[in-house]
Structure 1
Amino acid sequence: MEGDCLWDVGIRDGDIIAADRAGKRRLGRAVLAVVEGAVMAKILRKRDGRFYLAPANSHEPYPDIELTEDSEIWGVIAGVVRRYDLA
């Protein structure tokens, strides 16, 4: 994971995320998606009949990203591995 757009749900920059491709893609769940060739992890939301990806970071003004016909949700984020540098 690169970036801190999911900070409020406990996913940090540098974390390794596991995505469940068979997981239910429900609103409010963290998902791994491809939008315009970019892989991103965000929260699946719906507003005014349209689906979009939203950040979960109350400290940074990340934009929502609307899903298009070309967008693909790869899976639901099912787990996180964090490496600690003890040195």
Structure 2
Amino acid sequence: MPKTLKSELYPLFSCSISAGFPSPASDYIDQRLDLNQYLGMHSEATFFLRVQGDSMQGAGIFDGDLLIVDRSVQAKSGNVVIAVVDGEFTVKRLQRRGGITWLKAENPAYRPIEFKDGQELEIWGVVSHVVHKP
């Protein structure tokens, strides 16, 4: 079951971290960071889902990653979405062209999900951010 986002403030250091040569670090916190505000999330409509599988590796989404999903965003063709297909949740890229809708995996080992009469599709939310598991 998806988890809702709790609004909290996290410490934000005033200095940037060097990705090259080490630099002297400051020992104080400049301000508090609200992830809802920083990431543009709507706390009432934002959920976390854990990824299981490798069908979205080409989109930089890997097994064990945490997806931040916004249900308040209107899904457009090309968005990575959480879809409910015949009652089952899946993460795929939404594709629409010429009145036809399908869900595309980002791994050539998986075929697109094309919809036939009687098949049920619900776009549950749009993936707004991916948190990689260390």
Instruction: Give the SS at the match of 2:58.
Output: helix
Partner residue in 2 for 1:72: 122
- CA separation in 1, counterparts of 2:121 and 2:102? 10
Contact conserved, 2:52 with 2:63, CA < 8 A, in 1? yes
Is 1:56 the equivalent of 2:106?
yes
Contact conserved, 2:55 with 2:106, CA < 8 A, in 1? yes
What is the number of residues matched between the two proteins? Answer: 82
Is 1:23 the equivalent of 2:100?
no
C-alpha deviation, 1:2, in angstroms: 0.8
The within-5 A match list for 1:30-45 is 30-45=80-95
Task: Describe the superposition over 1:49-82 as per-residue Cα deviations: whole angstroms up to 9, x where unpaired.
Answer: 210100112xx32011124662111111011122
Contact conserved, 2:86 with 2:119, CA < 8 A, in 1? no
Structure 1 unaligned spans of 5+: none
TM superposition outliers: structure 1 runs of 4+ over 3 Å = none
Structural RMSD (CA): 1.7
For normalisation by structure 1, the TM-score amounts to 0.82
Structure 2 unaligned spans of 5+: 1-50
For normalisation by structure 2, the TM-score amounts to 0.56
Q: Which has the higher contact order (CA 8 A, sep 6+)?
A: 1
Most deviating of 24-33 and 40-49:
40-49
Task: Find the structure with the greater CA-based Rg.
Answer: 2
